[in-house]
A and B are shown apart, each in its own frame.
Chain A
């Protein structure tokens, strides 16, 4: 046993230094040089100030903005320092109540819209920070946003299309709309 102690300690310390310091620091150096924007968090700047990240959603409740996925982070939604899902099971009455509340808020903001609401608009995302909604969820909100801004629907629709990505490589993931990018484009239109 004693003859195992020295190799155990030395191999442990050496491999720790290589995999726990040299490796992450080397990746930091290379990623920072080759992909500087991504490595720093894909930040979006407006007038030189950071207004968010392309990858991290923000909460929206203004009828003139597109709304994103409901978020279960605490204490405030889209808390990017404490990611979390709701972890509510499919039969949990709290889930049913939460979905009813979200449906009521969406309907109240757009009373004339009788179309069924796409599921991603009323269910909390896994991270609580989902930056995307489905194209169906964006189109469902199109009329409301256009009216609130006094814009023709075709113009808003063009912005939605411009911020929509299809499936990656044609077969990976789902088509999606980046909500923050879309709302920034809408706000830029007004000025």
Chain B
């Protein structure tokens, strides 16, 4: 790993950890309802909605409110896509999206996955991007935040019947956390060159005339194929370049801050209009980790023991540093097949070097690899380089990051509640080892909590492995594969892993915009999201009702290095037991073939 790569990683972590504390304290202050200044605007929302802000909900009612709110989101995004031709802000006259793709995209953005089966600039008008996708970028992020806040209240309260008011929590998280920060980030990004307009696509005259092979179209505008199914082409030339436009900066900011990851354009954050400079890239990476890191601090504050939050943050940071260093070194090694052709992949002051297929020159191998580690450790899924073209092990780390359950920072809210579930599992395992009833933060962990933890931990591996098995065994599933050999299997495994863990990045060669994948992945996304949220809220309710026990001589402290080690061990144990066989069939085989030859 180069000095530049270490410097970049160090600077990134330093800025992140410095920002986490003040923001975390602010979030605790906000969600405890102490932000007086926000009351007047909030009260307008509550009055119009008929909400009594001081009326709290039990866990079940809280969960129903969240489910209903998110179901409305699916309907809204689906309808906007289907009707976009009849709606304003569609200067390119984009046609109605097909039903299966619209369904997939609606579920995808509501579940904070932001998997994209479509190409943004060739499919969606500006109204869908703003009123459909940008809205869900906010609301799905707010959903994640309020669920973890409810869980924290469950741990902080004792002998209580309620975990909060879902409407109040959603409103506060959206208006006073996500909105102001997004606004700030959007303006910074616009200053770096991210576009923000509602103009029609812009045509420019290029310096040279481009000659290329264009597909031959029939009268209906569909490409003609020969009897083997290959597309027929004819020579064509053009001196015009059409530049896609749109309100990008506003969406880009919340795409990162809310760990959403759905790009305005097909190439996502590799597109120069989404991510024009190394600085915009740095800001985007920070925005991804900002709230997940800050929430650890909020957790410590709300349970009245800051060390508890720092312990969780330490476990996340340690795992992240290993993952980031691994991707950066693998990508900087380059591709031996290209080295054999005499290509110069050696890094230095005049070039980044390394494996550059699918990467942008302004980011090079180091900044692209760090971004990949960040976006998959958090359940963001934005990409600034094409993960499909990464080296086998450089692509394995993002896969593993997701498969560990998106708890290394993870999504906003989801990362912390995922990690707290693992913390409960860790005290349970250690309780078994020392023969005592496990407790976490003074709450006795009993059969009900363990059942809910087990569901929350096992639902995603089940979806990933079952979904991958279905896809590789069916004709429609195999038809989507782009790359031959073991890599083709990795493409499918990556797609299901990404969907069920609500990440949204892809080995994008896979042709996933088909009815088969649109439906399969939408199901994986929905159950991967709410199959975890519901048991987590059930656990929040049960914990809130318990008494708090004073710490005794036999209590395992949950803030020291011992517990951090135990927590990391638990996450790795569960993740590796679930996925090693699948990983061996994909990236590991590919690595051996690439370096040892076959």
Contacts and interface: CB of A to CB of B under 8 A. Distances in A.
- Are A and B bound to each other? yes
B361 A125 contact: yes
B129 to A, nearest CB: 8
Contact of B278 (A6, A38, A127, A173): A173
B462 to A, nearest CB: 27
A123 B356 contact: yes
A89 B266 contact: no
Contacts of B509: 87-89
B43 interface: no
B8 A136 contact: no
B367 interface: yes
Nearest to B243: A80
Interface stretch (B63-71, B453-461, B465-473, B571-579): B63-71
A12 B68 CA distance: 10
A20 B337 contact: no
B195 A41 contact: yes
Interface in A130-174: 130-137, 139, 167-169, 171-174
Interface in A110-138: 115-120, 122-137
A40 interface: yes
Nearest to A1: B64
A8 interface: yes
A15 B388 contact: no
A39 B335 CA distance: 38
A15 B170 CA distance: 9
Given A88-B483, A126-B267, A126-B360, A39 B351 contact: no
Interface string A48-59: 011111111011
A15 B345 contact: no
Interface size grouping (class) on chain A = 35 or more
Interface stretch (B179-187, B299-307, B539-547, B549-557): B179-187
Contact of A38 (B191, B212, B335, B338): B191
**Overall SS of chain B's interface:** mixed
B343 interface: yes
A174 B8 CA distance: 11
Interface string A37-76: 0111111000001111111101111100100010000011
Interface stretch (B132-140, B422-430, B438-446, B514-522): B132-140
A83 B132 contact: no
Contacts of A9: 72
Given A11-B69, A122-B338, A32 B196 contact: yes
A11 B344 contact: no
Interface stretch (B96-104, B246-254, B289-297, B313-321): B246-254
Contact of B360 (A6, A95, A127): A127
Interface in B1-42: 4, 7-8, 11
Nearest to A76: B212
B355 A15 contact: no
A126 B191 contact: no
A127 B206 contact: no
A121 B254 CA distance: 34
B202 A43 contact: yes
A14 interface: yes
A38 B187 contact: no
18 contacts: A7-B167, A15-B45, A15-B175, A27-B249, A41-B245, A42-B193, A50-B203, A55-B272, A56-B243, A59-B208, A81-B122, A85-B385, A90-B355, A90-B389, A117-B342, A118-B343, A120-B351, A134-B350
